Structure 1
Amino acid sequence: MKAKRSVPSSRYPHLAVAVCLHMSASAYADNQSAPASNGQTPQRAQAEDQLVRRQLARPQIEVAFVLDTTGSMGGLLEGAKQKIWSLASRIAMGRPTPRLRVGLVAYRDRGDEYVAKVYPMTENLDAVYEDLQRFEPAGGGDTPEHVGRGLGEAVKNLKWSDSRNVMKIIFIVGDAPPQNYQDEWSYLTWTTRAKQKGIVVNTVQCGSDVTTRTSFLQIAKRGSGTFVSIDAAGGMIATRTPFDEEMASLNARISSMSLYAGRAPARRSAEGRALAMASMPSEAAADRIGYLAKEGSARGAGGLASASTVPLGVRDLLSDKKAIDEVADDELPAELKNKTRAERKAHIQELQAQRKQFEMRVIELSKQRDAWMKKNVSEKDDAFDAQVMKDIRERGVRYGIAY
């Protein structure tokens, strides 16, 4: 990158969900004993409905990182790769636990390998982590850069919520001022359009270039955001805790337990992602599994949240209870193909029980790790991750999120 208590639901409409149920007493009694038309029992359908309501009632945060990926931004990019799960875990410490969606935009300038690349806004943070690993510093060396194109792509092509009750933030992070091309990507025009859509535009300057400071201050002011200046390399520091090694080991074991069905290419893609998540560095792995524990608690999952949305055409046999009865034999993973139906189900149940045991241990360790960090770790105020959290904490009050 380049160089940057509960709250009354009446005050926050997103915390309230209206549900109208019209059912006679006799119909209610019948429904308690008869299976639903889709094969579900009424009790199961009611439980799933409660989970949906719980999700809808949670506050939401959408964040886009618009990152300069020219050659001088290597230090910040590497730090961001290491800290994305830490940021997610800290954001999830808000009360109520917010739902988090993250999008990425990489930008450079005309004449470089690319001007801008857009990576979709998603709740699937495994995908965000994978996308971020693709960011490599290259090109540049001749400021300015096309900041306006990066910002415009974020505003125009990421799928933002239309609700004004969703916290929507863009962080532009770079070390060079914006180009002033006479094209459709004027940084001032797109800052205004972001504001019109309820998106706050923050700027993070890496380094101390005076021209960059002037333009980034202008963008933040116009975008109702904040401007901060940080060390050229991002200033992020590794934080090791006594719990990281065991949590990283559990992250690897749980990720490796994935069992997917589907066409071979799509199944291999899902298996490849699981393998990548299993081999993460220990600090990032501990942050990842800790985030999934918080998200699982917020969803009422009774364990960890599902880490990834599987690719289209793939079924997660450990999470999707109906999958084993619905997929074709030729779509099964190799370890199940030579088993009888009863043996397949027994194998899945055994893995589910093992994973549940590991998940309960993760939840326990995650709480201990959070408490240890709160007591022993002080944020480096001028670091990129600290500045992002500072902004989210301060804005969270307006959306009913307390940190």
Structure 2
Amino acid sequence: MRTFIIWSTLCLLTHISCTANHKPKNEIALTKGQSHQILTTKTAPDTRNIQVALLLDTSNSMDGLIDQAKAQLWEIVNELSYAKCGHSTIQLQIALYEYGNDGLSSREGYIRQVLPFSDDLDEISKELFALTTNGGNEYCGKVIQSSINQLDWKKNDDHLKLIFIAGNEPFTQGPVNYKDAATDALEKDITINTIFCGNYRQGIDTMWKHGADITHGEYSAIDHNHETVHIATPYDDVILKLNHQLNDTYIYYGNRGAQKRMQQKEQDKNAESYSAANAVSRTVSKSSGFYKNKSWDLVDAAEDEEFELEEVVAEELPEQLKGKSKGELKQYISEKSNERKEIQQKIQELNKKRVTYLKNNRKKEESNLEAALLNAIKKQGRKKSFSWEE
């Protein structure tokens, strides 16, 4: 069977909530003629962030790791979405780095920031599926240091700030001592979790465990070449049909709107390329609060109090909407919003039955990327008042 680890992970993340009474308020400032641009974004004080930086080894031996990431992404997001933290709103941000690839710049230490912290799940999926392996020279300390210095980490310690680094070469390689990088992370309340692709004892001997221990993180060893097992459920076909209906509720705008709308469909296909179960996991993620597209979708954008429909350029709307008045357009957006909520609710209800079915039919938990990520995120999240329904 095809692997589907990554999608599962993404889906898990989407159901999280936390301890405040109001939703986060994002302020979108748009310039005339450039309705697609998000110039400023403010996160309300009652928002808790889960910031996850994924540092993936893309050397020749890591094809299996990258496949697991692609296959389990949405299920991971979904599992995280079941978290609770009072009434506060949770914002998930994922950053992606690749390292150890000879195709990358030697001056940068064979490291590339693929994506800074982002809540655009389609963009994360696109970049993940574009990764290829080649080479290499794996400098763990260097890539950790780069992620600490380059990413926009939250300052408040109430946020969950995590680095996950996965690879199979000694943790000690490269120009930056991993101890120095880990000490810096500890001072900034960033937890490093290490995932060694190979034998558990070998990972300890090559200092992968010590790299996690410094920040009180988790060390795991996984079989990165193991393919994800697909378990079909009686609810999959209906959920996938609902996905097509869900896609029809999106109204693109802005000069990149049509492109982002196409990207949404492309990531549906990428998920399905691994398995139907992977596509189902992505659909569940799209029904969650983590899947928001205010920069290009009018339904999501209209939820923001600061959004001005009058600023939207008519020429950058779908053809069938270009001749509508502002009043007609508002009515159309409202209808699509109500339609979307109904579809998402149906998906969530079916997913509850799907999750129960999977629990009753899944074999013993395997040692894979998804399990390593979720175990660490839940354990460290509990230290900051996050909880998960069991």
TM-score of Structure 1 vs Structure 2, range by shorter chain: 0.7 to 0.9
Alignment check: 8 A CA contact 1:239 1:283 kept: yes
Deviation of the 1:194 alpha carbon: 0.8
1:217 and 2:209 correspond: yes
Unmatched tracts of structure 2, length 5 or more: 1-17, 23-41
Equivalent in the alignment of 1:399: 384
C-alpha RMSD of matched pairs (Å): 3.0
Equivalent in the alignment of 1:151: 144
Deviation of the 1:16 alpha carbon: 5.9
Equivalent in the alignment of 1:174: 167
Give TM-score scaled by structure 1 length. Answer: 0.73
1:86 and 2:75 correspond: yes
With a CA cutoff of 8 Å and minimum separation of 6, indicate the structure with the bigger relative contact order.
Answer: 2
1:283 and 2:246 correspond: no
**Higher deviation after alignment, 100-109 or 230-239:** 230-239
Q: Which among 158, 183, 186 is matched to residue 192 of structure 1?
A: 183
For the residues of structure 2 that align with 1:105 and 1:251, how far apart are their CA atoms?
A: 30
Deviation of the 1:294 alpha carbon: 4.3
Equivalent in the alignment of 2:315: 330
Deviation of the 1:161 alpha carbon: 1.0
For the residues of structure 2 that align with 1:65 and 1:203, how far apart are their CA atoms?
A: 10
Alignment check: 8 A CA contact 1:105 1:117 kept: yes
Equivalent in the alignment of 1:206: 197
Partner SS state of residue 383, structure 2: helix
Higher Cα radius of gyration: 1
Partner SS state of residue 173, structure 1: strand
Query: Structure 2 vs 1, CA of residues 396 and 345 (structure 1 numbering), >3 Å: closer, same or farther?
Result: closer
Query: Structure 2 vs 1, CA of residues 98 and 353 (structure 1 numbering), >3 Å: closer, same or farther?
Result: closer
Deviation of the 1:355 alpha carbon: 3.0
Deviation string for 1:14-46 (max 9, x for gaps)?
Answer: 84689xxxxxxxxxxxxxxxxxxxxxxxxxxxx
AA aligned to 1:276 is E
Deviation of the 1:149 alpha carbon: 2.2
Equivalent in the alignment of 1:227: 219
For the residues of structure 2 that align with 1:213 and 1:112, how far apart are their CA atoms?
A: 28
Deviation of the 1:292 alpha carbon: 4.2
Equivalent in the alignment of 1:241: 233
Query: Structure 2 vs 1, CA of residues 318 and 223 (structure 1 numbering), >3 Å: closer, same or farther?
Result: closer
Partner SS state of residue 100, structure 1: strand
Query: Structure 2 vs 1, CA of residues 131 and 292 (structure 1 numbering), >3 Å: closer, same or farther?
Result: same
For the residues of structure 1 that align with 2:166 and 2:381, how far apart are their CA atoms?
A: 21
Equivalent in the alignment of 1:117: 112
Equivalent in the alignment of 1:39: none
Alignment check: 8 A CA contact 1:236 1:384 kept: no
For the residues of structure 2 that align with 1:347 and 1:392, how far apart are their CA atoms?
A: 40
Equivalent in the alignment of 1:34: none
1:308 and 2:293 correspond: yes
Deviation string for 1:338-368 (max 9, x for gaps)?
Answer: 4566655555455444434322321221222
Q: Which among 253, 260, 265 is matched to residue 261 of structure 1?
A: 253
Query: Structure 2 vs 1, CA of residues 64 and 371 (structure 1 numbering), >3 Å: closer, same or farther?
Result: same
For the residues of structure 2 that align with 1:180 and 1:236, how far apart are their CA atoms?
A: 30
Partner SS state of residue 229, structure 1: strand
Alignment check: 8 A CA contact 1:59 1:399 kept: no
Give TM-score scaled by structure 2 length. Answer: 0.76
1:99 and 2:84 correspond: no
For the residues of structure 2 that align with 1:387 and 1:361, how far apart are their CA atoms?
A: 30
AA aligned to 2:196 is Q
Partner SS state of residue 194, structure 2: strand
Partner SS state of residue 387, structure 2: coil
Deviation of the 1:66 alpha carbon: 0.8
Deviation of the 1:198 alpha carbon: 0.7
AA aligned to 2:266 is A
For the residues of structure 1 that align with 2:340 and 2:73, how far apart are their CA atoms?
A: 25
Deviation string for 1:194-215 (max 9, x for gaps)?
Answer: 1111111111111238377422
Q: Which among 125, 130, 134 is matched to residue 134 of structure 1?
A: 130
Deviation of the 1:171 alpha carbon: 1.2
Deviation of the 1:400 alpha carbon: 1.4
Unmatched tracts of structure 1, length 5 or more: 1-13, 19-51, 296-304
Deviation string for 1:168-221 (max 9, x for gaps)?
Answer: 21111001124644x4x3322211111111111111111238377422122122
Deviation of the 1:232 alpha carbon: 3.5
AA aligned to 1:216 is W
Partner SS state of residue 283, structure 2: helix
Query: Structure 2 vs 1, CA of residues 238 and 58 (structure 1 numbering), >3 Å: closer, same or farther?
Result: farther
Partner SS state of residue 260, structure 1: coil
Query: Structure 2 vs 1, CA of residues 220 and 267 (structure 1 numbering), >3 Å: closer, same or farther?
Result: same
AA aligned to 1:392 is I
1:273 and 2:256 correspond: no
How many equivalent pairs are there?
336
% identity of equivalent residues: 24
For the residues of structure 2 that align with 1:381 and 1:98, how far apart are their CA atoms?
A: 28
Alignment check: 8 A CA contact 2:49 2:91 kept: yes
Partner SS state of residue 121, structure 1: strand
Equivalent in the alignment of 1:66: 55
Deviation of the 1:73 alpha carbon: 0.6
AA aligned to 1:91 is L
For the residues of structure 2 that align with 1:286 and 1:345, how far apart are their CA atoms?
A: 31
Structure 1 consecutive aligned stretches of length 4 or more whose deviation exceeds 6 Å: none
Query: Structure 2 vs 1, CA of residues 64 and 234 (structure 1 numbering), >3 Å: closer, same or farther?
Result: farther
Deviation of the 1:113 alpha carbon: 3.2
For the residues of structure 2 that align with 1:318 and 1:161, how far apart are their CA atoms?
A: 25
AA aligned to 1:320 is A
For the residues of structure 2 that align with 1:271 and 1:186, how far apart are their CA atoms?
A: 43
For the residues of structure 2 that align with 1:338 and 1:78, how far apart are their CA atoms?
A: 45
AA aligned to 1:370 is V
